[in-house]
C-alpha cells in the first residue's frame, strides 16, 4: 500500500513538473525584448509555452505568444546566437534527447524584425547542432554518427533547405552539392585530421 501511494505521488509530481526560463539581456536585442518560457507536462508529453515582450516607455508590452509539443528532454534555451546574420539574436529551445549525446536536437525560432515576431522553422528539429556559418552565410548542422557530417542550409519558406554536405570517415572526405534532393559528388580525397569531431565551413573548396 505504501509503495503504491509513493508511486502515485511520484507520477502526480512528475506530471505537474514545470520548468521556467526568462531573459532580456541577450534575447533578440539586449534590453529591448524579453521572453518568458514555460515547459510543462501535459498528457505525459512536454509542452513549451512562450511569451515575447517588447519594451515601450520602460514597460514590457506583450507582442507574441505561442506553444509547441516536444519530445522528452529538459528545458534548455539559447538566446545569444544570430543564425541568419540579420543583427537580431534568434532562439533555440531543446526539443529531444538525441541518440548520441553530442547531437543536440533543438527547435529554432528566428526573429523577424518586420513582423516583430518569432518564426518557427518547421523542420529545424530534424537536424542536430544548428549554428551560423559566416564563411558561407548559411546555417550548418553538425552530425555525429558512424561518420561526421556537415550539412549546409539556406532558409526557404520557414524551412531549412539542404544545398550541400561534407562527409568525413575512414580518413577520407566527400563533398556534395544537393539539387532537387539529389546528391552530386564534387570531391573525394584522403583527409587527415587530429580532431575526431572535425566539421567543415565550406564544401567547395573543402575547408574546416
The model's pLDDT over 73-95, given as tens digits with 9 standing for 90+, comes to 889 999 999 999 999 999 999 99
CB burial of residue 98 (10 Å; 0-12, 13-18, 19+): middle
| Sequence-distant (≥ 6) Cβ neighbours of residue 100 within 8 angstroms | 144, 145
Residue pair 91/70 in contact by the 8 Å Cβ criterion:
no
Q: What count of Cα atoms within 13 Å lies in the side-chain half-sphere of residue 193?
A: 17
Between CA 99 and CA 60 the distance in angstroms is 40
The answer, yes or no, to whether residue 15 has pLDDT greater than 60, is: no
Please give the share of the chain, as a percent, with pLDDT higher than 70: 88
pTM score: 0.85
| Sequence-distant (≥ 6) Cβ neighbours of residue 180 within 8 angstroms | none
Q: What confidence score (pLDDT) does residue 99 get? A: 60
Report residue 197's pLDDT band, with 50, 70 and 90 as the boundaries: confident
Between CA 125 and CA 8 the distance in angstroms is 33
| Backbone dihedral region for residue 24 (phi beyond 0: left; psi -120 to 50: alpha; all else: beta) | alpha
- Dump pLDDT digits (tens) for 119-155: 999 999 999 999 999 999 999 999 887 778 999 999 9
Which element (helix H / strand E) includes 187?
strand 182-190
The answer, yes or no, to whether residue 4 has pLDDT greater than 70, is: no
Between CA 158 and CA 140 the distance in angstroms is 16
Amino acid at each position: 500500500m505504501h509503495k503504491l501511494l509513493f508511486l502515485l505521488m511520484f507520477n502526480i509530481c512528475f506530471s505537474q513538473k514545470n520548468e521556467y526560463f526568462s531573459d532580456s539581456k541577450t534575447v533578440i536585442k539586449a534590453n529591448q525584448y524579453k521572453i518568458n518560457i514555460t515547459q510543462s507536462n501535459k498528457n505525459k508529453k512536454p509542452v513549451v509555452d512562450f511569451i515575447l515582450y517588447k519594451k515601450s516607455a520602460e514597460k514590457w508590452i506583450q507582442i507574441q505568444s505561442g506553444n509547441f509539443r516536444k519530445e522528452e528532454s529538459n528545458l534548455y534555451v539559447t538566446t545569444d546566437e544570430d543564425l541568419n546574420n540579420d543583427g537580431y539574436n534568434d532562439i533555440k529551445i531543446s526539443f529531444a534527447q538525441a541518440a548520441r549525446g553530442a547531437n543536440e536536437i533543438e527547435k529554432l525560432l528566428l526573429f523577424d524584425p518586420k513582423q516583430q515576431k518569432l518564426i518557427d522553422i518547421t523542420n529545424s528539429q530534424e537536424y542536430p547542432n544548428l549554428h551560423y556559418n559566416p564563411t558561407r552565410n548559411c546555417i550548418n548542422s553538425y552530425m555525429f554518427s558512424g561518420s561526421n557530417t556537415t550539412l549546409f542550409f539556406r532558409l526557404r519558406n520557414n524551412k531549412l533547405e539542404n544545398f550541400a554536405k561534407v562527409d568525413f570517415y575512414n580518413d577520407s572526405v566527400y563533398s556534395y552539392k544537393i539539387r532537387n534532393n539529389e546528391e552530386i559528388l564534387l570531391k573525394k580525397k584522403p583527409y587527415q585530421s587530429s580532431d575526431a569531431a572535425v566539421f567543415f565551413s565550406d564544401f567547395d573548396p573543402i575547408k574546416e
